[in-house]
Chain A
Amino acid sequence: MQNETEKSTEKTAIKIQAKNVGVSYSGMVALKDVQIDITERKVTALIGPSGCGKTTFLRTMNRMNDIIEGCEVTGEILLDGEDIYDTQVDPVVLRRRVGMVFQKPNPFPKSIFDNVAYGPKIHGLADKKDELEYIVEKSLKRAGLFDEVKDRLNAPGTSLSGGQQQRLCIARAIAVSPEVILMDEPCSALDPIATARIEELIDEIKERYTIVMVTHSMQQAARVSQQTAFFHLGELVEQGETETIFTNPRDPRTEAYVTGRIG
């Protein structure tokens, strides 16, 4: 567990810092020269037109790109000042600290309980059964799902609705107490009501976690994020306070995008 007492001086600390990050898929450049600072315990939104490299960049931050054949990452990504692409770094340890929620809800075909308990189990976070139950309950509560599923924790995770499944995936990610949660368009497969529910949830949990969220909806970025980064054609065009990006963008491409002229 990280220290949950908040110190006001650390509020603007930088959690992740990307330096000259470039990504190529089998030689095809998808992302080049990305410089970005991700602020701790804030929601950073990554926006941009389809295919501009948002997902690609998000996946560099917990080395999910490692499992894609032919994917090559250059530059540095520092998590608390340590380069995560250093040869010393174990992706298993990294991914415990930097969790991920995917575009399409992907619960394991196991029970709701087992879905949430899986992470703590493999990382040995609970020695006894009641400890595990406590973690599962706490995670489900944080993900705002507990009341809906408390009577059927043994039902398959896949039997839930799409929005519930996505909150289950968030609970599953929370259960290993990560410091950062990466979310790749977590609402793109959901209806407006489920989307609102997830947005609320993100707003609640941002006190505890640093959240980086890809979204194709500018309204969503405006609603839930404090920082926004705009990507275009494999480049990071502009980043800053969400309000500044939407009301007073510096780059004409950003302006064109947020006003709906490209995208």
Chain B
Amino acid sequence: MYNPMYKSEKKPDNTASKLSTGSLPGVAKRHRSERMFKATGLIAIAGGLLFLLFVLVSIGISGIGAFKKTYINLPVPSTIMQQVLDSGIDDADYYSLNRKALRERFPDISGRRDKRALYRLVSAIAEFEMKDQVVELAPTTNAPITIKFTASDDVDMYIKGTVDVAESGAAGRLNAKQVDLVNTLKQAGAIEVGFNWGFFTNSDSRDPELAGIKGAFMGSLFTLLVCLVLSFVVGVMSAIYLEEFARKNKFTSFIEVNINNLAAVPSIVYGLLGLAIFLGFFGMPRSASLVGGLTLALMTLPTIIIASRISLQSVPLSIREAAYGLGATQVQMVFHHVFPLALPGMLTGTIIGMARALGETAPLLMIGMVAFIADAPSNIMDPATTLPVQVYLWADSPERAFMEKTSGAILVLIATLIAFNLVAVVLRKKFEKRW
């Protein structure tokens, strides 16, 4: 930007023109304070951005591992394949066969403890992975095959470098022997790190290597859907009624003051309210996203009502008069002219409310949405949990491997929020574009 002031200030006063800064007393001081103000603003913004960057980077670094997963490729020799064929592909005892395959891979392992340590290199669902892959291959001969197993969380962390190798040779919960085995596998090229699709397609699990966010994501989706529909419809309708139709008297101003106060009530109070009303009085099912949505709707309503009223107020009187002057009734005036003009502002308020509801944990704890849910909910009555509650649950988990899952879930939460805001911007543009 061209600023003539900076140019003239470099000139000494006596040679300056009559229009220079120095020719009028106090002007230099005014410019100085303006620069001070601008600089302060810039520093504040830069500081804010720095913190945001710091948060994103630190969560990103610790969460990126959640999207990667370690696999162990294990050969299944002919002897085992023959056993599979003998007992039938569907009925084979994959529990013992996968252990046998591990033992065959490391023939010199003996002793119960070492064997058990060997078995722990793969995840708890190794037998099912083996069965699925064999069924898919549908072998007809006993030719050897290779099965891709999900590594256990301890191996996963060791491979990703999350845990360091101690002097004793142990790494995290892997003992020295196991570390040895993993290193052998690694040297043989049997360790593979791939994208962790399971993080998106699995629900919560006791085993970190299997845990995913699908359940929590679906729970958030259902909860927000209930919350959005309810709070938008009720909130916008109440705002329109209060702003446009209700008579302005002591009673309505009392209601207005209370709505403003409700917006400032701590969210956990809404949880208590939801617990008392929806669970206690109406007897709705615990942990259901329906109840979560209703509770969050209570919390979001004041925000939406306030934002909607402000955007209704900002519709100019001249538009209202134009409609009345043509003989429109009040309802026609409001719904044909005022409401469409206020809609973008209402949507912004709604999205802000939704974003807050998406990140809310405390009220959901009160209505039991904090339970361990291993199956993704398929409707709003199913027990569910939400993304932030999942973060809370995982963060609280003693297993170290859940740490990166926590950060990973936070990244997904942030991505969802950004998507939300993009939708808000697009909606605003869409409704405002016409004029």
Residues of A within 8 A of B (CB): 62, 64, 67, 69, 92-96, 99-100, 102, 104, 106-109, 118-119, 122-123, 156, 158, 169, 172-173, 176
Contact = CB atoms under 8 A, between A and B. Distances in A.
Contacts of B332: 122
A64 B333 CA distance: 14
A102 B319 CA distance: 11
B434 interface: yes
A158 B318 CA distance: 13
B320 A62 contact: no
10 contacts: A62-B325, A64-B324, A92-B329, A96-B327, A99-B325, A102-B325, A109-B435, A119-B327, A122-B328, A173-B325
Contacts of A100: 321, 325
Contacts of A64: 321, 324-325
A41 B332 CA distance: 31
Interface core residue of B316, B319, B321 (most chain A CB under 10 Å): B321
Contact of A106 (B322, B327, B435): B322
B326 A95 contact: yes
A104 B316 CA distance: 12
Contacts of B346: none
B435 A118 contact: no
Interface in B299-335: 316, 318-329, 332
A82 to B, nearest CB: 17
B251 to A, nearest CB: 16
B319 A106 contact: yes
Contacts, number: 64
B333 to A, nearest CB: 9
Nearest to B320: A67
Contacts of B321: 64, 67, 100, 102, 106
A242 B286 CA distance: 81
A92 B319 CA distance: 16
B337 interface: yes
Given A67-B321, A99-B326, 4 more contacts: A109-B435, A119-B326, A122-B327, A123-B327
Interface of B: 248, 316, 318-329, 332, 336-337, 341, 434-435
Given A96-B327, A122-B328, A169 B322 contact: yes
A173 B341 CA distance: 22
Given A118-B336, A122-B332, A158 B326 contact: no
Contact of B326 (A69, A109, A122, A156): A122
Interface centre among B322, B325, B435 (most CB of A within 10 A): B325
A108 B327 contact: no
A108 B325 contact: no
B376 to A, nearest CB: 45
B136 to A, nearest CB: 59
Among B328, B332, B337, B434, max chain A CB count under 10 A is at B328
Nearest to B329: A92
Q: Top 4 closest A-B pairs, CB basis?
A: A106-B318, A100-B325, A95-B327, A96-B327
Contact of B434 (A95, A96, A109, A172): A109
Contact of A176 (B319, B320, B326, B435): B326
A156 B435 contact: yes
Contacts of B337: 108
Nearest to B341: A109
B319 A108 contact: yes
Nearest to B247: A69
A211 to B, nearest CB: 15
A54 to B, nearest CB: 16
B324 A67 contact: yes
Contacts of A69: 248
Contacts of B435: 109, 156, 158
A102 B318 contact: yes
B401 to A, nearest CB: 57
Contacts of B336: 118, 122
A16 to B, nearest CB: 16
Contacts of B318: 102, 104, 106
A100 B324 CA distance: 9
B326 A118 contact: yes
A118 to B, nearest CB: 6
A26 to B, nearest CB: 13
Nearest to B330: A67
Contacts of B323: 108, 118
A176 B274 CA distance: 52
Nearest to B337: A108
A93 to B, nearest CB: 7
B328 A108 contact: no
Nearest to A103: B318
A102 B320 contact: no
A173 B326 contact: yes
Nearest to A100: B325
Given A106-B321, A109-B434, A172 B248 contact: no
A95 B322 CA distance: 11
B338 to A, nearest CB: 11
A99 B337 CA distance: 18
A102 B341 contact: no
Contacts of B319: 106, 108-109
